[in-house]
Amino acid sequence: MSYVNNLRMFVRVYDLGSMSAAARDQRCSPAVASSRISELEKHLGTRLFNRTTRSLQPTSNGRLFYDGALTVLEAIAEAEAALMTATQNPRGTIVISAPLGVGRRLIAPHVPAFKDLWPQIELRLRLSDRPVDILAEGIDLAFHLGMPEDSSLKMRLISGAPRVLCAAPDYIARRGMPADGAALIRDGHDCLILRYPGVREYRWTLETPDGPQQFAVSGPFESDDGDVLTGWALDGRGIVLKPLFEVAAHLREGRLVPVAVATPPLDTQLAILMQHRRLKDPKLQLFADYIVTHIREAIRRETDGPAAALL
Q: How many residues does the chain have?
A: 311
Q: Check residue 199 and give its pLDDT.
A: 56
How far apart, in Å, are the Cα atoms of 21 and each of 24, 25, 34, 140, 150?
5, 6, 12, 17, 24
Mean pLDDT over residues 59-68, rounded? 87
pLDDT at 287: 94
The pLDDT of residue 86: 46
Cα–Cα–Cα angle for 276, 13, 139, rounded to 5 degrees: 35
When the pLDDT of each residue in the chain is averaged and rounded to a whole number, the result is 87
Strand partners, 126: 97
Q: What is the pLDDT of residue 68?
A: 84
Separation between Cα atoms, residue 102 and residue 125, nearest integer Å: 11
Q: In which region does residue 174 sit, left (phi positive, over 0), alpha (psi from -120 to 50) or beta (all else)?
A: alpha
Range scoring the smallest mean pLDDT among 27-36, 37-46, 75-84, 302-311? 302-311
pLDDT for 247 beyond 90: yes
Check pLDDT > 60 for residue 311. no
Q: What is the pLDDT of residues 92-121, one digit of tens each?
A: 899 999 998 899 989 999 999 999 999 999
Q: What is the pLDDT at residue 69?
A: 85
Tell me, what's the pLDDT at 103? 93
- Looking at residue 153, its pLDDT comes to 85
Question: Taking residues 133-140, what's their average pLDDT?
Answer: 86
Note the pLDDT of residue 123: 94
Pick 165 or 42 by higher pLDDT. Answer: 165
Q: Which of 276, 292, 271 is nearest to 77 (CA)?
A: 276
Q: Report the pLDDT averaged over residues 133-143.
A: 88
pLDDT given for residue 279 in this prediction? 72
- Rounded to a whole number of angstroms, the CA Rg of the chain reads 23
Specify which residues 94 forms β-bridges with: 123
180-216 pLDDT, tens digit each: 999 999 999 999 998 876 555 578 999 999 999 999 9
Domains within the chain, CATH numbers bracketed:
2-85 (1.10.10.10), 90-159+269-309 (3.40.190.10), 163-266 (3.40.190.290)
Of the pLDDT bands very low, low, confident and very high (cuts 50, 70, 90), residue 308 is low
The pLDDT assigned to 282 comes to 87
Q: What pLDDT sits at residue 129? A: 85
Which candidate, 103, 251, 269, places its Cα nearest to that of 164? 251
More confident residue, 270 or 88: 270
Does residue 146 have a pLDDT over 90?
A: no
What is the distance between the alpha carbons of residues 237 and 227, in angstroms, rounded to a whole number? 14
Burial class (CB in 10 A: 0-12, 13-18, 19+), 95: middle
- Measured between alpha carbons, how far is 190 from 237 in angstroms, rounded to an integer? 7
Q: Which amino acid type is present at position 262?
A: A
Q: Looking at residue 298, what is its pLDDT?
A: 85
Q: What is the per-residue pLDDT for 307? A: 53
Q: What is the pLDDT of residues 277-297, one digit of tens each?
A: 777 788 998 999 999 999 998
Task: Kindly list the strands in the beta sheet with 257-258, ordered across the sheet, starting from the edge strand earlier in the chain.
Answer: 240-243, 163-167, 257-258
pLDDT above 80: residue 149: no
